[in-house]
Amino acid sequence: MAENIRELTVELGDRSYPILIGPGLLGEYDLSPYVTGSQVMIVTNETVAPLYLEQAIRCFPGKVVDSIVLPDGEKFKDWQTLNRIFDGLLEQRHTRKTTLVALGGGVVGDMTGFAAACYQRGVSFIQIPTTLLSQVDSSVGGKTGINHPLGKNMIGAFHQPRAVLIDTDSLRSLPPREVSAGLAEVIKYGLIRARDFLDWLEGAVDRLVALEPEALSEAIHRSCACKAEVVAKDEREGGLRAILNLGHTFGHAIEAFAGYGNWLHGEAVGTGMVMATDLSLREGMISSGDLERVVALVRRAGLPERPPAGMTPDDFMTRMAVDKKNVDGQLRLVLLKALGAAVVTADIRPENLAATLSAFCE
Ligand code: NAD
Ligand code: MG
């Protein structure tokens, strides 16, 4: 097994941690060296538990392993459900030396990480992400949190895991739409920072959609390396980390317009990246050939390349006006100065933005 494992490190001084990637790791890989004391609490949900909980327990030989199974869904990423984690920890008498383990997608990962940041003022945690999106994005970087009725991810903390274990085999049970949604973030890394990875993706995207293990390991490894590098340079989003939002300003507008859950985040980001690339072309930063390449890649990943029917430029503008990247009311977007090189800029000609929006809205 060992020869199939790819390992990389998120460099954060004495809080550095490994990301372990490969097939067949769940149930086989010994994670007990990353456990602080003798207690482990695995947090998962009712979809993932029957698939992988037993295997996850086997990753902690010699430890006392308890588990909490939460309901499944973004709508449960809230205070009430978070409190069930604290209930379980207190009822099972978990001490400050306990280690929380997130087994599931980004919802479970964000909530478990936040529970670990808060429980007894902070305990260790380990990520075992089981969706492609959580493997390449949410499990790396230490952002944790829950939603508030008035806003997504509004309550949270930075809390880095001790280790991230990514079993590429766990993607076999994932619905194809979720695989495509994860691929949007994979493509994003190529577009913002890694031209050679983007070139590779164009040759590999069909194998990724088909969940070919070697291609998956490579794509996840490259994606995590890219995110790890950005996070190491800018842990708390003072600047550089904002480039990870390529396609997200348009995408968030689409998600909000469609009603959360109707378009997956990754689907909206896929379309959003096409729109950001179109605007980059209008701004004279890239060529029409570059745009065609991005459109083709997004399409082959199984992602939509146009916003939902009926969405107007106004629908975009009102929602984009409240984006977190904006400074003093001025719209800021991530654009491409070349394929593989992103910039965050407020210097956008309004007529170009208007032209992009009207080109994409019927
Ligand atoms: P998710 O956690 O809702 O998972 C999607 C669905 O797949 C769920 O129904 C889940 O139960 C199911 N599932 C998970 N693993 C499975 C498997 N192996 N087989 C079959 N089904 C499986 O969604 P997600 O896309 O993983 O994550 C989205 C969340 O991540 C959002 O809440 C978002 O805010 C958050 N996020 C956080 C960060 C961060 O930096 N912390 C970054 C990106 C996204
Ligand atoms: Mg995203």
**DSSP state letters, 1-14:** -GGG-EEEEE--GG
Residue 164 pLDDT: 98
Alpha-carbon span 61 to 59, nearest angstrom: 6
233 is in an annotated binding site: no
Instruction: Answer for the pair 167, 48: CB distance below 8 angstroms, yes or no.
Output: no
Residue with the smallest CA separation from ligand 1 atom 33 is: 106
For the chain, list residues with pLDDT below 70.
Answer: 1-3
Q: Which residues pair with 41 in a beta bridge?
A: 66, 100
Q: Ramachandran region of residue 176, left (φ > 0), alpha (ψ -120 to 50) or beta?
A: alpha
63 is in an annotated binding site: no
Residue with the smallest CA separation from ligand 1 atom 30 is: 106
C-alpha 220 to ligand 2 mean position (Å): 15
Residue 2 pLDDT: 55
Residue 278 pLDDT: 98
Alpha-carbon span 236 to 318, nearest angstrom: 27
- Check if 26 has its Cβ closer than 6 Å to any atom of ligand 1: no
Residue 151 pLDDT: 82
Query: pLDDT per residue over 19-73, tens digit each?
Result: 999 999 999 999 999 999 999 999 999 999 999 999 999 999 999 999 999 999 9
SS3 269: helix
Instruction: Answer for the pair 232, 12: CB distance below 8 angstroms, yes or no.
Output: yes
Task: Report the run of H or E that residue 162 belongs to, with start and end.
Answer: none
324 is in an annotated binding site: no
Residue 325 pLDDT: 74
Predicted structure pTM score: 0.96
C-alpha 132 to ligand 2 mean position (Å): 12
Q: Angle 155-170-200 (CA atoms, 0-180°, nearest 5)? A: 90
Q: How far is CA 29 from CA 55, 149, 155, 160, 292, in A?
A: 10, 39, 33, 21, 42
Alpha-carbon span 72 to 47, nearest angstrom: 7
- Check if 251 has its Cβ closer than 6 Å to any atom of ligand 1: no
Residue 348 pLDDT: 94
SS3 30: coil
Q: Strand runs (DSSP E) across 168-218, as ranges?
A: none
